[in-house]
Structure 1
Amino acid sequence: MSRYFTAEDGGAAASFDELEAGLLRAYAEQMLELIDAREGTGATAEDLIASAFREGPTERPDDPALARLFPDAYTDLGPDGDAQAASAEFRRYTEDDLRARKRDDAQAVIRSLEALAPEGRRRKTLRLKPDECRQWLGALNDLRLVLASRLEIVDEEDFEALMDLDDDDPRVPLVYSYGWLTTLQDTLVEAMMRSL
């Protein structure tokens, strides 16, 4: 699909055609919907002010994708500790900020792709500054986590097994998207390392 990321001027660059840019944008928009699913819509000014003073959620999300994006902080505190209670306390003070950062990362991807606006099959080069690279890296990681949860990918062996699916299996497009996002993420990391 893409020519992937390369280091450029302290940041990174990659070229995308309209199909690739559209797919990434759609995934980022779906990510925003998923992140905001528990918060609702149509908040008033009073709601926003009140939210600044409320504590965050304490319960682990039911949706497996959200549970991957917002995992428990503690799984084992030894015989005297209560990992569930410690995770709930940690989540209360951190999840809202984590949601905000993930939302900002997805919005940065959308803004970048809107500015790129490739036409037809002609590729256009996206150039990212160092801070934009970090946001893209976060968003690509989040997108991969969501797809991995939907495909029940826990490790590399799970992904390799999915590569052998029959072509008519409805999961095939998601498997290819997961592989593509993985390559984008890997090449962005390499570009960022070269730009140091």
Structure 2
Amino acid sequence: MAGLFESAGDGGAAIALEEVEASILRSFEVQMLELIGPGPGGESDDPLAALFAEGPSSPPADPALARLFPDAYGGPDGPAGPEEVAAAGEFRRYTELDLRARKRDDALAVIRSLDGLGGAGGVLKASPEDCRHWLGGLNDLRLTLGTRLEVSEDDDEGLYDLDDEDPRKPLVMAYLWFGMLQESLLEAMAG
């Protein structure tokens, strides 16, 4: 898997993907959509209902979702006292649905651009707006995989030394590849 983003000028980027690479990316983004779930009350098109919808006031129980939708107050272990818990709950109640919608939009944009390749490999060209969605989508994939793999800053070096028989190896390879894609996309957008 060697496809990395290159500058396409004007803040856009391009990447040559083999069919298997496009398939892997698409599969992970579809799984991300399933993890994030539908919007409030399903996929309603009623803008008034969406305007008045309120999100949850407590963090998700799933550690990966808690990483994607962290508390706004407190440290890495969450809010410390009752006042921080209340403030974090209020903040989450009014912001999580929008954050979920943005993450769904990012994943859908990546899927649609991959679908534009027609199920085969090829060169994918991303506009500056598409690049923003790709950055968000890749970041969410890395956060989720990192949480599932229990990656910490101290462990990062050990990821390169896994035995081929280690069942985590395919996910670790995807995690590292998504990081390379993300880094190359940032460089392509800047250059």
1:1-196 pair list within 5 angstroms: 1-10=1-10, 11-36=12-37, 50-75=49-74, 82-117=83-118, 119=120, 123-155=121-153, 157-194=154-191
Amino acid at match of 1:186: E
Amino acid at match of 1:20: E
Decide whether the 8 Å contact of 1:2 with 1:14 is kept in 2.
Answer: no
Gaps of 5+ in 2: none
Q: 1:118, 1:44 → 2: CA distance?
A: 29
Q: Compared with structure 1, are the counterparts of its residues 148 and 93 closer, same or farther at alpha carbon in structure 2 (3 Å cutoff)? A: same
Gaps of 5+ in 1: none
Cα shift at 1:70: 0.1
Decide whether the 8 Å contact of 2:4 with 2:15 is kept in 1.
Answer: yes
Give the RMSD, CA atoms, in angstroms: 2.3
Q: 1:151, 1:188 → 2: CA distance?
A: 24
Q: Residues 131-167 of structure 1, C-alpha deviation per residue, up to 9 Å, x if partnerless?
A: 0000000000000000000000121x31221322221
Q: 1:168, 1:100 → 2: CA distance?
A: 38
Amino acid at match of 2:168: R
Amino acid at match of 2:35: L
Q: Secondary structure at the match of 1:13?
A: strand
Q: Percent identity?
A: 53
Q: Compared with structure 1, are the counterparts of its residues 80 and 146 closer, same or farther at alpha carbon in structure 2 (3 Å cutoff)? A: closer
Total equivalences in the alignment: 187
Decide whether the 8 Å contact of 2:5 with 2:14 is kept in 1.
Answer: yes
Cα shift at 1:83: 1.8
Decide whether the 8 Å contact of 1:18 with 1:117 is kept in 2.
Answer: no
Cα shift at 1:52: 3.4
Decide whether the 8 Å contact of 2:16 with 2:124 is kept in 1.
Answer: yes
